[in-house]
Amino acid sequence: MPQISEKGQMMPESPIRKLVPYAEIAKKKGTRVFHLNIGQPDIPTPQSMIDAMHNLDVKVIEYSHSAGILSYREKLCQYYAKHNIHITPEDIIVGAGASEAILFGVQTCLNPGDEIIIPEPFYANYNGFAISAGVRVKPIISNIETGFALPAISEFEKAITPATKAIMICNPNNPTGYLYSKEELEVLREIVKKHDLFLFADEVYREFCYDGTTHHSVMNLEGLEENVVLFDSVSKRYSACGIRIGCMISRNKEVMKTAMKFAQARLSPPSLGQFAAEAAMETPDSYFTEIIDEYFTRRNAVVEALNKMQGVECPNPKGAFYVTASLPIEDSDKFCQWLLESFSYEGQTVMLAPATGFYSTPGAGKTEVRISYVLNVEDLKKAMRCLQEALKVYPGKTI
């Protein structure tokens, strides 16, 4: 029998999706499952995007330019200018979601065997992207005790080797919701300058900042014009995850010229998705004001409920719509499966993402889970009650 590739064997399962079969079985039994495992917002997609698809007036759905439709890239430039990020359409390559854009960026800037430093916990698929490109992730751990703040500069220095080519951050962070301060980004700037590295930044949650905080983009770090590669997406911003439109952005002309070859190899990004994404550029600011207020209320409901549970610790995040909480359990993978397989409270249970998949360090995150507060407040309160009752009776609890 032919052998599966080493890459295929190394590719990790998604911690967000691997428990889906257990959820499906629970539903067949009649159990209501609260899905807090995945960042799929229940906020309505802007009507402008829906209308663009309904009112599409074309006879042939053609390939777009490999970099993306020019009019869409021009509107993206206008959007970024509102955030004090000044770029040209030539600085943008549109991808099938931020995922494809990140793959382009990693394959453009790193060779097989090179290393990329990522503060963990981090978005689980970064592991998969690195494996796809033959790149090694060098993790440095951020701790729940500090709210998952950026690790000390000394930790970066210890991790840097001759093979190190890049640092990657997600800001605001998935899975922790941590929002990096301007001061923390300046620390990264110094490290990147000193060692002449690429700085990759996933900023797909830019709009979602709370408690009067402000998002600061790596694109505005002085002196890093040749080092920074930004990744972005419409999925979470406009509650349009299925559109699969994202982008990579850099002012480094050689990076973009090279990335274009990868973009050409996959022909073009989805045209239908670009039509909808371009229409989304007309979304009024009031849309985001209402959404941020809603997520703020949801965050408070979840964090307050978690921290009232015995043995649970949960920082109060300043961005995105995730929390990473420590539970009084020994194995979050087993616990999350048990919730679906063996537990229900008043005919309900909750689906969480075990945090082990958001780490690269073996054994890390065993007591932690990621919770996406993407449901309405009443459902979140019911889900938190389920979790509270589950922790009281779980056979593997540690208190």
- Please tell me the distance from the alpha carbon of residue 306 to that of residue 308, in angstroms, as a whole number: 5
Nearest residue to 348 via CA among 76, 6, 31: 31
- 19-23: long-range pairs with CB below 8 Å, 24+: 19/336, 19/337, 19/340, 19/351, 22/337, 22/340, 22/341, 23/340, 23/351
The token pair at 54 is 């309904």
In the structure, what pLDDT confidence band is assigned to residue 225 with cuts at 50, 70 and 90?
A: very high
Question: Is the pLDDT confidence value at 109 over 80?
Answer: yes
pLDDT digits (tens, 9 = 90+) for 170-184: 999 999 999 999 999
| Angle at alpha carbon of residue 358, lines to 210 and 197, rounded to 5° | 85
Residues 106-116: what's their mean pLDDT?
A: 98
- Please tell me the distance from the alpha carbon of residue 228 to that of residue 183, in angstroms, as a whole number: 17
CATH code, 47-280: 3.40.640.10
CATH code, 6-44+286-393: 3.90.1150.10
Question: Is the pLDDT confidence value at 189 over 90?
Answer: yes
pLDDT of res. 367: 97
Question: Is the pLDDT confidence value at 12 over 90?
Answer: no
pLDDT of res. 200: 98
Mapping DSSP to helix (H, G, I), strand (E, B) and coil, where does residue 105 land? helix
pLDDT of res. 16: 72
Question: Is the pLDDT confidence value at 13 over 90?
Answer: no
pLDDT of res. 14: 79
Q: Using the structure block, give the residue that is written with the tokens 């990264």.
A: 188
User: Would you kindly state where each structural domain of the chain is located, as residue ranges?
Assistant: 6-44+286-393, 47-280
Question: Is the pLDDT confidence value at 17 over 80?
Answer: no
pLDDT of res. 265: 97
Q: Using the structure block, give the residue that is written with the tokens 């802007």.
A: 46
C-beta separation of 261 from 93 below 8 A: no
Q: What's the alpha-carbon Rg for the chain, to the nearest Å?
A: 21
Q: What is the mean pLDDT of the chain?
A: 96
Residues 152-167: what's their mean pLDDT?
A: 96
Least confident segment among 7-16, 275-284, 348-357, 361-370: 7-16
Q: Which pTM value belongs to this model?
A: 0.95
Residue 294, judged by CB atoms within 10 A of its CB (0-12, 13-18, 19+), counts as: middle
pLDDT of res. 365: 95
Least confident segment among 74-88, 213-227, 277-291, 306-320: 277-291
Q: Hey, what amino acid is at 393?
A: V
pLDDT digits (tens, 9 = 90+) for 324-383: 999 999 999 999 999 999 999 999 999 999 999 999 999 999 999 999 999 999 999 999
Least confident segment among 18-22, 211-215, 245-249, 346-350: 18-22
